[in-house]
């Protein structure tokens, strides 16, 4: 398992691997950049096929956090953690107590928060072992669950992109992939303005709830890409815009909460060639990290969060306008802007 030669290494400052026999913990923490401040990004618990898959994920996710935090105007660098979910039954509390202790060994260069597969209880368990945790619902600067703010930011970006393309959200057809905390709230916000939803998730109970609450149409995970919709909102895992799926898309806009949506950079050009407006994921999904940034700095203000969310809208608007003027892809423009803000 080569690190420096890994195609996703991208000059990471540090990559840490952790193993504990007693709890079955296998984890990576990747610190991509601390140029703007301590790195911050959530911990993901997932059933990875092997450690190579987990390493690839943490490297891609931590790079994305550097770009996300820079584009949101935060005094934070980019980092991420992934925990390989043990097979069979395991002691969840013991696992995350040990993981929390390991976070301390990174020396404050990385702050964690909740991500895919994690729960508020998991974060509280980690907090018993380390102070480098954010997104909690207790404490003087507690910001609480970041997922509603992530969803708010996604909704704002969907609306902005729709306005740019002359699409009214009332009556617009929107496909939402992934119905966790963020995806569900995105559906709620879209339903409130009269959008017609087509949804999917591997969790059938989550699909049934959205269909019941918002009158959505249910499709299988494989069918979501080919739906005749105006907007596609990926809110599950990454690399879903790939050679197998892009050719199926009928949507005019892609804007969602999932990280690393493009399987490879070339997919950005493929989308543009098909006349699809791609809204770069790390711009669209920045609401959550914005919400916890104040907590990391020791204060929290809803007014400050609102100001930053408006900044996200402005940044996305600038990217779309530059792409229209220059003919370059939105992801290329966003990457260049992020690197310039980081100073790398």
Q: Helix, strand or coil for residue 153?
A: helix
Give the residue numbers marked as catalytic: 80
Instruction: Specify the DSSP class assigned to residue 241.
Output: B
Phi/psi of residue 328, nearest 5 degrees: -85, 165
Q: Single out the residue of 110, 134, 151 nearest to residue 287, CA to CA.
A: 151
Looking at the DSSP bridge assignments, the partners of residue 40 are 78, 111
Q: Report d(CA 77, CA 36) in Å as an integer.
A: 5
The CA distances from residue 91 to 73, 85, 95, 248, 284, in Å, are 39, 11, 6, 42, 35
Task: Please check whether residue 291 is in contact with residue 149, taking contact to mean a CB–CB distance below 8 angstroms.
Answer: yes
List the beta strands (DSSP E) in the chain: 14-20, 25-33, 39-40, 43-46, 77-84, 110-111, 173-177, 196-200, 217-218, 231-234, 253-254, 277-278
Q: Report d(CA 71, CA 339) in Å as an integer.
A: 9
Is 137 exposed, middle or buried, given 0-12, 13-18 or 19+ CB atoms closer than 10 A?
exposed
Radius of gyration of the chain from its Cα atoms, rounded to whole angstroms: 19
Under the phi-then-psi rule, with left for phi > 0, alpha for psi from -120 to 50, and beta for the rest, what region is 187?
alpha
| Host H or E run for residue 313 | helix 302-326
Q: Report d(CA 196, CA 214) in Å as an integer.
A: 9
Q: Which residues contact 199 (CB under 8 A, 6 or more apart)?
A: 175, 176, 177, 179, 183, 187, 207, 210, 211, 216, 217, 218, 219, 224
């Amino acid at each position: 398992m080569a690190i420096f030669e890994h195609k996703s290494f991208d000059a990471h400052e540090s990559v840490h691997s952790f193993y504990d026999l007693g709890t079955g913990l296998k984890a990576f923490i990747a610190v991509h950049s601390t140029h703007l401040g301590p790195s911050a990004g959530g911990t993901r618990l997932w059933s990875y096929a092997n450690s190579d898959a987990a390493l690839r994920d943490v490297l891609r996710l931590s790079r994305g956090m550097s770009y996300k935090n820079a584009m949101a105007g935060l005094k934070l660098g980019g980092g991420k953690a992934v925990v390989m979910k043990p097979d069979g039954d395991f002691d969840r509390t013991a696992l995350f107590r040990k993981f929390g202790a390991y976070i301390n060994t990174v020396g404050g260069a990385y702050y964690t928060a909740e991500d895919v597969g994690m729960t508020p209880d998991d974060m509280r368990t980690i907090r018993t072992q380390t102070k480098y945790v954010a997104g909690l619902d207790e404490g003087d600067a507690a910001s609480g669950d970041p997922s509603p703010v992530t969803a708010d930011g996604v909704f704002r970006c969907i609306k902005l992109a729709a306005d740019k393309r002359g699409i009214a959200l009332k009556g617009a057809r929107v496909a939402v992939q992934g119905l966790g905390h963020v995806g569900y709230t995105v559906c709620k916000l879209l339903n409130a303005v009269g959008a017609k939803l087509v949804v999917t998730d591997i969790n059938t109970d989550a699909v049934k709830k959205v269909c019941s609450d918002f009158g959505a149409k249910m499709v299988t995970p494989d069918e979501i890409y080919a739906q005749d919709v105006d907007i596609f909102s990926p809110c599950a895992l990454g690399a879903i815009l790939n050679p197998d799926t892009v050719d199926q898309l009928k949507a005019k806009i892609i804007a969602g909460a999932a990280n690393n949506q493009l399987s490879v950079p070339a997919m950005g050009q493929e989308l543009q060639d098909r006349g699809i407006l791609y809204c770069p994921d790390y711009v669209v999904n920045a609401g959550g990290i914005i919400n916890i940034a104040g907590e990391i700095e020791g204060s929290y203000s809803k007014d400050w969060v609102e100001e930053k969310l408006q900044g996200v809208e402005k940044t996305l608007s600038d990217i779309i306008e530059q792409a229209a003027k220059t003919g370059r892809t939105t992801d290329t423009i966003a990457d260049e802007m992020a690197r310039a803000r980081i100073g790398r």
